[in-house]
Amino acid sequence: MSLNFAAPSMDATPVYLTDAQSLKDVLQALPEPVQTWADAQQFKGAFGTSLLCPDAQGKPELALLGLGDERARRRQRFCLAAAAASLPSGIYKLENDFPFQNKHYEVLGWLLLGYSFDKYKSSKGKNIKLVAPDWVDVTRIEAMASAEALTRDLVNIPASDMGPDALADRAAQLSAEFGATFEVIVGEDLLQRDFPMIHAVGRASATAPRLIDIRHGTSGPKVVLVGKGVCFDTGGLNLKPGGSMGLMKKDMGGAANVLGLAKMIMALKLPVQLRVLIPAVENSVSSASFRPQDILTSRKGLSVEINNTDAEGRLVLADALSYADEEDPDLIISMATLTGAARVALGPDLAPFYASSDDIAAPLIKAGEASLDPVWRMPFWDPYETMIESQIADLDNAPSGGFAGSITAALFLRRFVSKPERFIHFDIYSWNPAAKPARSKGGIGQGLRAILTALPDILELK
């Protein structure tokens, strides 16, 4: 599997981009047999279609790609990838322009066609390669594709091979690749170093809980990415029913996303002091499990009444957020598959995020639209603060009533940072339930390109 551009080659098949509107004009500029062939094949330039046109010897001379009409393009992202996916394996090069909303990210979509989760499969898929058009920033687009592939792999690999230990190994590998410093605090050391909630959530598993800590860069604003790394979420003693547990290998999606984001930031040398914190745990059932009605004292000192052991993500994140906060960073971003409520609210396509400042939210939304990575702002709704307060402790981890579950989880996290105006939180799903153009079924990055593109704006980088 390679998500790179093909080297320029004499053998590359020329590709002409068309849609319902432009088809006639595009064909007019091509040799007459191509027009005859396109007519005979009833090629209309519909969304997700392609037509290979043979020369007199029957060899492919060129390909037409159909990009559909505006309505179809509104309903699906990555129209270029959608059409290219229907081509046979081979090397292709773009011959004409098309008024894409953003051509760089359309080309990224083509590269992402190269992703498939085939680690456990003996047969591999197609290989449809593109020669980089001369207008493309190859380094940037390839870095985005490779980061997205990392995120997808981390989520897709099952918990049997992606427990807290394996996740830490992957993080160490990534650090080594970019000369970042890597530290991990494991098991009982978490208690010694004062991460009681990370330890409590993860202590029932045969694989010890741990806190991953990566640092990269020595100058520029301090940015900390905090990712939920629950490698499997059984729900704990408040065991999830089978149907709800089925997908819970993906509960480290936040970790997978922040590692993908970190990979892009490091590869593209963004001038920031980057730190990545990942509490990596398995929420398991054993006699060592934390229990409903336990009261935990967090690193920050706030006590938390456990009303549901399935609301574990906010607990491990809380300790990691306090730790991040102690160095007074310029920006903290948390990413987590935190609540079922977020999935219900926005579904798998749109990434819900929380930011109190318009100066942060606006660039994120704009960058998300431009980079085909849509994000949607949710409110830190202060009047719901009372819902996360307990009668017998400072906080309650699982408000009863079930109202506004994603908002109350975000409010809970916000209690652990001292500058809420410099805090962004993403409550993502990180899973694509059905294959779409450039978006394979399974683990998927959400908000990565939006954040990467908005960061210079948010941090006022020169």
Q: Which residues bind Zn ion (CB under 5 A)?
A: 230, 233, 251, 310, 312-313
447 makes contact, choosing from Zn ion, ligand BES, none, with CB < 5 to 8 Å by partner type, with: none
Least separation in angstroms between residue 299's CB and ligand BES is: 20
Helix (H, G, I), strand (E, B) or coil at 444: coil
Q: Which of 48, 68, 163, 313 binds ligand BES (CB under 6 A)?
A: 313
Tell me the C-alpha distance between 197 and 248, whole Å.
20
Looking at beta carbons, which pairs linking 38-43 to residues 24 or more positions away fall under 8 Å?
Answer: 38/64
Q: Which of 18, 289, 322, 339 binds ligand BES (CB under 6 A)?
A: 339
* Residue 49: count of CB within 10 angstroms of its CB: 18
Residue number, 146 or 339, with CB nearest to ligand BES: 339
Least separation in angstroms between residue 427's CB and ligand BES is: 8
Residue number, 47 or 290, with CB nearest to ligand BES: 290
Residue number, 364 or 404, with CB nearest to ligand BES: 404
Least separation in angstroms between residue 311's CB and Zn ion is: 6
341 makes contact, choosing from ligand BES, Zn ion, none, with CB < 5 to 8 Å by partner type, with: ligand BES
Residue number, 210 or 249, with CB nearest to ligand BES: 249
* Distances 3 to 139, 141, 147, 155, 187 between C-alpha atoms, Å: 12, 10, 10, 18, 37
Report the helix count and the strand count for the chain, using DSSP H and E: 16, 19
Tell me the C-alpha distance between 328 and 322, whole Å.
10
Q: Return the ∠ at Cα 151 (arms to 411 and 100), rounded to 5°.
A: 95
Using the contact rule CB under 6 A, the part of the chain among 60-68, 205-213, 219-227, 340-348 near ligand BES is 340-348
Tell me the C-alpha distance between 192 and 403, whole Å.
37
315 binds ligand BES (CB under 6 A): no
* Residue 330: count of CB within 10 angstroms of its CB: 16
Least separation in angstroms between residue 308's CB and ligand BES is: 4
Site of tokens 């410093």: 181
| Buried b or exposed e, range 151-174, using 16+ CB within 10 angstroms | bbbbbbbebeebbbbbbbebbbeb
Interface size with ligand BES, residues (CB under 6 A): 15
Residue number, 224 or 311, with CB nearest to ligand BES: 311
Using the contact rule CB under 6 A, the part of the chain among 187-195, 315-323, 337-345, 384-392 near ligand BES is 337-345
Pair 429, 374: CB distance under 8 Å: no
Tell me the C-alpha distance between 188 and 210, whole Å.
9
Length of the chain as a residue count: 462
Active centre residues (catalytic): 240, 314
Q: Which of 19, 213, 251, 396 binds ligand BES (CB under 6 A)?
A: 251
Least separation in angstroms between residue 251's CB and ligand BES is: 5
Smallest CA-to-CA distance from 53 within 42, 64, 65 is with 64
Q: Which of 2, 22, 273, 308 binds ligand BES (CB under 6 A)?
A: 308
Site string for ligand BES, 199-238 (x = CB under 6 A): ----------------------------------x-----
Least separation in angstroms between residue 198's CB and ligand BES is: 14
Helix (H, G, I), strand (E, B) or coil at 454: helix
Q: Which of 337, 371, 432, 446 binds ligand BES (CB under 6 A)?
A: 337
**Which amino acid belongs to residue 310?**
D
- Considering only residues 388 through 417, tell me which ones interact with ligand BES, judged by CB under 6 A: 398, 405
Dihedral over alpha carbons 74, 80, 82, 83 (to 10 degrees): 120
Q: What is the DSSP letter of 255?
A: H
429 binds ligand BES (CB under 6 A): yes
195 makes contact, choosing from Zn ion, ligand BES, none, with CB < 5 to 8 Å by partner type, with: none
Residue number, 20 or 245, with CB nearest to ligand BES: 245
Strands 423-427 and 229-233: unpaired
Least separation in angstroms between residue 233's CB and Zn ion is: 4
Least separation in angstroms between residue 374's CB and ligand BES is: 18
Binding site for ligand BES (CB under 6 A): 233, 251, 308, 310-313, 337, 339-341, 343, 398, 405, 429
